[in-house]
Amino acid sequence: MSYQALYRVWRPQQFADVIGQTAITQTLQNALTTGQTSHAYLFCGPRGTGKTSVAKILAKALNCRHLDHGEPDNTCDLCEAINNGSLTDVIEIDAASNNGVDEIRDIRDKAKYAPTVAKVKVYIIDEVHMLSTGAFNALLKTLEEPPAHVVFILATTEPQKIPATIISRTQRFDFRRITAQDIVGRMTVILEDKGITYDEQALLVIAKAAEGGMRDALSILDQVLSFGQNHVTVENALDVTGGVAAAQLGTYLTQIGAHDPAAALTTIEQLLAGGKDAARLIEDLIEYLRDLLVFQQAPSLVNDTQSALRDDHFQTLAQTFTAQALYHMIGVLNETQSQLRLTNHPTLYLEVATVRLGEQPTASTAAPAPAAVPAEAEAVTALQAQVQALQETVAKLQTGAPVAAVKPKPKAAKHPHVNKQQLYPILGAATKADLTAVKDIWPDLLNMLSVTKRAMMRISEPVAASPAGVIVSFAYDILVERAMKDAALMTELESGLERLMGDKKTIVLVQQDEWPKVRKTYLSEMGAPKKTQPKAPTEAPVVKAITDMFGDEDNITIKND
């Protein structure tokens, strides 16, 4: 006997078997019992939520010779004929393949005739949104004057693509995504019937991956069963769904909580080496953190099956992180998620996020990070200075006094670390040859660093070099500051550079967005003395200077890993 897919074998045969759509099945049963059925139904909802199954049960119920409380008996000749697909009065059409006007015209012509055997002729049109405009018009004509013995059941995943004129002539039912608990419940029944044992967590992994679709869940279960026939394991479920073991996520977050980004990076490397992709990993982490938040706020909301998925770390982590820290971490990961959409280097961003998370004051036991205070105070001072300057300007405007340009004091500058004294000497002696030489050895230099430092430096890029110094641009300003203050890192970089290049060079970091401005300012200041020369030729030396120093690449790109 050939293997039959679970979702076919376990397709519900009665309304009572339909999972997670009680409101709909109840309404239909009531209508059937009281004889108030409609001529046209529209079943909307995500894939695998039971639309076609309910359509078939409804077709049986409309025809069954022994209807009981709105349920078909599945034993009379008509029910059996519908079940084995031999009843010509129940017609299933897949609009995705039969979308021509002719097919619908054909329905129109044939619908006029009374059913041959059945009581009611039922047309089930699946994926009805795929019909052409002409076909919709033809269908509308039939729906406007429906023959007494015909019922149309239209099913679609995309109701917004169906003309309003059609929708208004149907009774609409919206099928909901099936909850993970309901899906787990159904799988439990199936596995117990088959005498197959399972890990509860494995079923939850499958249910979550199916995202509310029973058919998808059962297809995944089919695949998992093909791995090992006798027992459904978490590992197999994770392999099929591409998910990440909760235990490893828990380990990772524990390392983050312990401010040990190096260990966390190792965990990430293991997960990635195991074939997980960065985007999915971030998604799983966000979900884990959300569960922690929910658990903190209302433990009862995290139901048993859900918390069963979570590992030994879960409860401890719920105590380790404050809600604020969790929100912050979710924020960092959300940000990373949007960056991933724009990059070909997802791993890189995941690593940077790890460093950021690991160095945040996340633990509830930790006192407010002392480092954060001076930075905040500095920002507040800067803002106060700006506000004061603005107030003075406003006051002068009101009195009609002449207004000088408001220039924030140097302290108020957004990026206090743009250090002309360090940058200009390097720019003054920069050559393209020096830059090329530094770029050549840069990957080797990074390989000499420890895992955390390497992760941080991988978003860096040498942008200018002289015989005595290198300017390195950095993607995140938060990391520029951290890296510059990290004396160990700077020493390690400079000594590595010396070892690789044979001579000592100073490294100066600059934030990526600041770099073009720094360069522009430098070039205009450098060009300033030339004002005495005729205007026209001044352009050329500046342009030439740019190409000499930096090559033709104007844009700084994140280094390819």
Nearest residue (CB) to Zn ion, 35 versus 529:
35
Binding piece for Zn ion, criterion CB under 5 A, among 79-87, 101-109, 143-151, 446-454:
79-87
Binding piece for Zn ion, criterion CB under 5 A, among 29-37, 70-78, 163-171, 269-277:
70-78
Size of the site for Zn ion (CB under 5 A): 5
| Cβ pair 330, 337 in contact under 8 A | no
Q: In the bound complex, what is the minimum distance in angstroms from residue 22's beta carbon to Zn ion?
A: 22
87 interacts with Zn ion by CB under 5 A: no
Binding piece for Zn ion, criterion CB under 5 A, among 37-45, 74-82, 331-339, 375-383:
74-82
Nearest residue (CB) to Zn ion, 64 versus 93:
64
Nearest residue (CB) to Zn ion, 117 versus 413:
117
Q: Looking at this protein, which amino acid is placed at residue 511? A: Q
Q: In the bound complex, what is the minimum distance in angstroms from residue 64's beta carbon to Zn ion?
A: 3
Please tell me what DSSP assigns to residue 175: P
Binds Zn ion (CB under 5 A): choice among 59, 79, 330, 445 = 79
Q: How far is residue 14's CA from residue 53's CA, in Å, rounded to a whole number?
A: 9
Core vs surface per residue 122-156: b (16+ CB within 10 A) or e: bbbbbbbbbbeeebbebbeebbeeeeebbbbbbbb
Q: How far is residue 349's CA from residue 342's CA, in Å, rounded to a whole number?
A: 11
Cite the DSSP H helix spans in 400-431.
Answer: 420-428
Nearest residue (CB) to Zn ion, 82 versus 302:
82
Nearest residue (CB) to Zn ion, 42 versus 55:
55
| Cβ pair 203, 171 in contact under 8 A | no
80 interacts with Zn ion by CB under 5 A: no
| Cβ pair 463, 515 in contact under 8 A | yes
Nearest residue (CB) to Zn ion, 76 versus 111:
76
Q: In the bound complex, what is the minimum distance in angstroms from residue 190's beta carbon to Zn ion?
A: 25
Q: Which residues have a Cβ under 8 Å from the Cβ of 80 and sit 6 or more positions away?
A: 74
Nearest residue (CB) to Zn ion, 79 versus 253:
79
Q: In the bound complex, what is the minimum distance in angstroms from residue 76's beta carbon to Zn ion?
A: 3
For 4, other C-beta atoms within 10 Å of its C-beta total 10
Q: In the bound complex, what is the minimum distance in angstroms from residue 214's beta carbon to Zn ion?
A: 24
What phi and psi, each to the nearest 5 degrees, are found at residue 114?
-65, 155
242 torsion bin: left (phi>0), alpha (psi -120 to 50), beta (else): left
Binds Zn ion (CB under 5 A): choice among 33, 46, 76, 223 = 76
The residue with tokens 């010509």 is 88
Q: Which residues have a Cβ under 8 Å from the Cβ of 454 and sit 6 or more positions away?
A: 446, 447
Q: How far is residue 398's CA from residue 395's CA, in Å, rounded to a whole number?
A: 5
- Contact map string, positions 383 to 412, toward Zn ion, x by CB under 5 A: ------------------------------
Nearest residue (CB) to Zn ion, 76 versus 385:
76
Binding piece for Zn ion, criterion CB under 5 A, among 44-52, 67-75, 166-174, 211-219:
67-75
Q: In the bound complex, what is the minimum distance in angstroms from residue 168's beta carbon to Zn ion?
A: 32
| Cβ pair 455, 491 in contact under 8 A | no
Q: How far is residue 20's CA from residue 315's CA, in Å, rounded to a whole number?
A: 30
Q: What's the gap between Cα 488 and its chain centre?
A: 36
- Contact map string, positions 516 to 545, toward Zn ion, x by CB under 5 A: ------------------------------
Q: In the bound complex, what is the minimum distance in angstroms from residue 52's beta carbon to Zn ion?
A: 19
The 3-state DSSP composition of the chain as helix, strand, coil percent (nearest 5) reads 60, 10, 30
Q: How far is residue 220's CA from residue 5's CA, in Å, rounded to a whole number?
A: 10
Binds Zn ion (CB under 5 A): choice among 20, 50, 72, 469 = 72
Binding piece for Zn ion, criterion CB under 5 A, among 75-83, 132-140, 482-490, 508-516:
75-83
Q: How far is residue 346's CA from residue 326's CA, in Å, rounded to a whole number?
A: 22
Q: In the bound complex, what is the minimum distance in angstroms from residue 67's beta carbon to Zn ion?
A: 7
Binding piece for Zn ion, criterion CB under 5 A, among 34-42, 71-79, 508-516, 520-528:
71-79
73 interacts with Zn ion by CB under 5 A: yes
Nearest residue (CB) to Zn ion, 65 versus 141:
65
Q: What's the gap between Cα 27 and its chain centre?
A: 36
- Contact map string, positions 37 to 66, toward Zn ion, x by CB under 5 A: ---------------------------x--
The residues binding Zn ion (CB under 5 A) are 64, 72-73, 76, 79
